[in-house]
């Protein structure tokens, strides 16, 4: 069975045992809609017999892997239930990627921020072109926060101290530094070189024992401490704040937000 996305915002093809899933909104730097998140999760949740040997996730165009969740998706948030439901939805998608029975590769060119960074962090391997930049600039843009699960996942890659510094500074990390801190496994040249390297890496994985790779994924997931304390109070504090509404309005109107701490 070949996976068929329910939205044209995702493009999927299989070739030589590799499944290529493209985040396809290049005009808005592949900003992620709920249907895009759901489609990624649906693919990664398929039974192993319906999956290709390796999945590569890549963004359309040269500007971005994915620049985060489409901000318009937040406009209908009316209360606590909407916030908790959103993060539960995201958690389900990211865990589907993390627990996908076949290896997953994030091939990153341009911006990989916010929700895009969350998807990439859930993948097994991350490679980037020289244009790749990573960051979680919500302290400068929207005033929301990472879930505890996303903090766990990204801190496991780059360390808690580094994650805190990147969130506090709201800076973007270029490709070379991303490799140095452990976010990227390797950096290649331009976008075309990235696709070629992703195909080469996926082909290498196809030649290895799939049960060994799967067992390694499961073992590492078990020791990562996935039983997380509740973060609903933190999500409510940020997503239901006046500051978050201000951040959305400022972002959509291309102005600097005026934070008030409430």
Question: What pLDDT, on a 0 to 100 scale, did the predictor assign at position 128?
Answer: 97
145 neighbors 250 (Cβ within 8 angstroms) = no
Whether the predicted pLDDT of 226 surpasses 70 = no
Alpha carbons 183 and 158: distance in angstroms, whole number = 6
| Region 127-148 average pLDDT | 94
Question: What pLDDT, on a 0 to 100 scale, did the predictor assign at position 223?
Answer: 81
Classify the phi-psi angles of 114: left when phi > 0, otherwise alpha if psi is within -120 to 50, otherwise beta. left
Instruction: Locate 252 and state its tokens.
Output: 């959509």
Question: What pLDDT, on a 0 to 100 scale, did the predictor assign at position 8?
Answer: 93
Closest CA to 89 of 201, 209, 235: 235
Domain ranges of the chain: 10-206
Architecture per CATH, 10-206: Alpha-Beta Complex (3.90)
pLDDT over 70 percentage in the chain:
98
Question: What pLDDT, on a 0 to 100 scale, did the predictor assign at position 1?
Answer: 63
Average pLDDT taken over every residue of the chain: 92
Residue 29: count other Cβ atoms within 10 Å of its Cβ: 20
Quote the pTM value. Answer: 0.90
Give one DSSP letter per residue of 37-91, joined into a string: HHHHHHHHTS-GGGS-SEEEEEESSSSEEE-SB-GGGGTT--SHHHHHHHHHHHH
What tens digit of pLDDT does each residue of 203-222 get?
Answer: 999 999 999 999 998 888 88
Closest CA to 203 of 37, 15, 29, 48: 15
Question: What pLDDT, on a 0 to 100 scale, did the predictor assign at position 221?
Answer: 84
Whether the predicted pLDDT of 39 surpasses 60 = yes
Largest CA distance in the chain: 55
């Amino acid at each position: 069975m070949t996976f068929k996305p329910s939205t044209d915002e995702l493009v999927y093809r299989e070739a030589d045992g590799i499944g290529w899933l493209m985040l396809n909104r290049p005009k808005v730097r592949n900003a992620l809609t709920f249907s895009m998140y759901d489609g990624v999760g649906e693919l990664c949740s398929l039974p192993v017999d319906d999956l290709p040997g390796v999945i590569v996730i890549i963004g359309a165009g040269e500007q971005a892997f994915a620049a985060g969740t489409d901000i318009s998706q937040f406009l209908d948030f009316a209360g606590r239930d909407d916030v908790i439901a959103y993060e539960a939805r995201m958690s389900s998608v990211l865990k589907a990627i993390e627990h996908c029975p076949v290896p997953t590769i994030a091939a990153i060119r341009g911006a990989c921020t916010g929700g895009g960074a969350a998807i990439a962090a859930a993948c097994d391997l991350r490679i980037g072109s020289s244009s790749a930049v990573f960051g979680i600039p919500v302290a400068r843009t929207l005033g929301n926060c990472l879930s505890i699960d996303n903090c766990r996942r990204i801190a496991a890659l780059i360390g808690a101290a580094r994650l805190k510094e990147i969130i506090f500074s709201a800076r973007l990390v270029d490709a070379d530094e991303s490799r140095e801190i452990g976010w990227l496994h390797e950096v290649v040249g331009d976008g075309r070189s990235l696709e070629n390297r992703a195909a080469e890496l996926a082909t290498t994985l196809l030649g290895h024992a799939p049960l060994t790779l799967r067992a390694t994924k499961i073992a590492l997931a078990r020791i990562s401490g996935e039983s997380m304390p509740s973060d609903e109070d933190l999500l409510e504090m940020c997503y239901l704040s006046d500051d978050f509404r201000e951040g959305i309005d400022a972002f959509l109107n291309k102005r600097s937000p005026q934070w008030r701490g409430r």
